[in-house]
Amino acid sequence: MISTPISCTSDYYSGSDFDYDDDVVKAAPQHHCSLNDTNIILQTLIQNQYQQSSSNISSTNKIQQSIQLLKLVQEYDLSNEIFIRANAILHKFLLSTKCVNNIDVSILIACLSLSTKLSQHSTHSSIPLFNSDSLILNENMICNALEWDIDMITPINYIEAMLLHVTDSSIKARVRELTYELIVLCLTDVRCIDLSSDSLAMSCLLMTSELLDCCEIIPKQIFLYIQDKNSLFETSLIFIRQILVNILQK
pLDDT 10s digits, 165-180 = 788 888 899 999 999 9
The pLDDT of residue 101: 66
Q: pLDDT over 70 for what percent of the chain?
A: 67
Q: Which of 129, 108, 120, 1 is nearest to 65 (CA)?
A: 108
Model pLDDT for residues 14-49, shown as the tens digit of each residue: 333 323 233 333 333 445 555 555 555 555 545 455
Percent of the chain clearing pLDDT 90 (strictly above): 36
What is the arithmetic mean of pLDDT over 216-236?
66
The pLDDT value recorded for residue 185 is 96
pLDDT tens digit string along 157-167? 989 888 887 88
The residue ranking higher by pLDDT, 5 or 154, is: 154
Query: For the domain with range 32-52+153-249, which CATH number is right: 1.10.760, 1.10.101, 1.10.3470, 1.10.472?
Result: 1.10.472
pTM of the model: 0.76
- More confident call, 123 vs 25: 123
Calculate mean pLDDT across residues 240-247: 92
Reported as a pLDDT band with limits 50, 70 and 90, residue 61 is confident
In the predicted structure, residue 121 carries a pLDDT above the cut 70: no
Radius of gyration of the chain from Cα atoms?
Answer: 18
Decide if pLDDT at 109 tops 90: yes
CATH 1.10.472 placement within the chain? 32-52+153-249, 59-145
For residue 239, what are the CA distances in angstroms to 14, 84, 185, 215, 233?
Answer: 17, 20, 14, 19, 10
Considering the chain, what is the average pLDDT of its residues? 76
What DSSP designation does 193 have?
T
Residue 4 has pLDDT above 60, yes or no: no
**Alpha-carbon distances, residue 133 vs 86, 90, 102, 110, 129 (angstroms):** 20, 20, 21, 11, 11
Class for the domain spanning 59-145: mainly alpha
pLDDT of residue 2: 37
Residue 8 has pLDDT above 50, yes or no: no
**DSSP code string of 143-165:** HHHTTT------HHHHHHHHHTT
Pick the more confident residue, 198 or 184. 184
